[in-house]
Amino acid sequence: MVAWASWLVAAVTHALAPARHARSLIGLAVLLTALVLPAAALTGTPRPPLSVLVPQLALGLLALALPDRLPLWVRLAPAAVAALAAALAVRWLAPEGGYVSYHGAMESLAAVGGALLIVALVLALALAGRRDARGAWALLVLLTPAGLLSVREGGCCPTCGAAR
């Protein structure tokens, strides 16, 4: 829980404060995430699956390279996209009773993530048409964590290992 909370604090700090403040909190969150494995081994408590921890570490290391000055709307864009993705996933998943299964949530979030990658690809192609390689670099950088997120240990469900 400490590692997850540190990521939330780092994300809010990145959105609302200058990059120099966020960078130190992102570094702390990366460190705490890396310490999850040894801490779980020492205490005997269950750990999150590597298919969650490794992409989180990769994205955290990428976040350390953020530029010092970003406009407020760029810093708030990930929160807006995450809120929209969560709202769409809940809307598509939640039956009238309100119960959402873990398997259904993961599949819907994967579909939303795939749609966001398609949007990123279209934006990269539009930038490439103007001889701007920023979109291509962004896609190349995000391919590794996105690919790691698609890996599942022991089946479709990292928690119970259930196979399809």
Residue 115 parent element (H or E): helix 102-129
pLDDT at residue 38 is higher than 50:
yes
Q: What is the mean pLDDT of the chain?
A: 75
pLDDT digits (tens, 9 = 90+) for 57-88: 888 888 888 777 777 777 777 777 777 767 76
Q: What whole-number distance in Å separates Cα of residue 1 and Cα of residue 24?
A: 19
Total-model pTM:
0.63
Residue 111 or residue 71, greater confidence: 71
SS3 49: coil
Domains of the chain: which residue ranges? 1-69, 71-164
